[in-house]
Structure 1
Amino acid sequence: MDVRAFRKVLGITLFLELFYLTGHYAAGWPFPTPTVILHLFTVSGLGVALGILFAKVWPISPQTGIERVLRTALLVIPALGLGIGIQVLLQGPQATQAIYLIFAFAAWFGSSHIKRAHIES
């Protein structure tokens, strides 16, 4: 991963830490321990890496349309399944964070890392 991707991972992790801290004080959620923060960083990094790998195979189109919708569906649906597996591995049967959603959103954000060049015809 390059610096831009690492900054993306740090940004996602920082947002999630602030989200869970706010949830702790506003709604009584469990306080995010260092282990939880490490899980968030790991899942964000893996998700962005999956998105970048997917973008190398199928770069994002500069035009909006059905291609982007199909591309997003082909990335996010399997990412949700992989995220469920990662959640079970990291947190067991009683999860305190939605790791599978974090993984899918991080993969989606990472997939915009490489853009296809616009070709004028």
Structure 2
Amino acid sequence: MQLIVTTVLALLGAASAAPARNIQARDGITITFYPEANFGGEPTVVSDVVSNQCQQVPEGVTVGSVKVASGGLCRLTYSAPTCTLHGDVFVFPDTPAEDLTGETVTSFLCQTCTEC
């Protein structure tokens, strides 16, 4: 019995001393950008978005419409070069941004949403 306890304690100590594999915690939020209004064209999917961190729209991505998967909400910014406190458009799983043509979406900030 003492050998089992000693072994378990040694394994726990080794596991807690090991370096973390992920430097940033990921929240599993997924946002999808479509090049055309009403979700047309070949989508660009960004998975494992970090919650509460401003991110630039991937280079070369044209944003015509946007969806966010269940469990997240995202604020899109097109009135400034980077995220603003209020954002310009809020995107929820049940209320996607269907037509952003004419706007240059620069950045987004997503958050985990337990009620989404």
| TM-score bracket relative to the smaller structure | under 0.3
Q: Which of the pair has more CA radius of gyration?
A: 2
Higher fraction of helix:
1
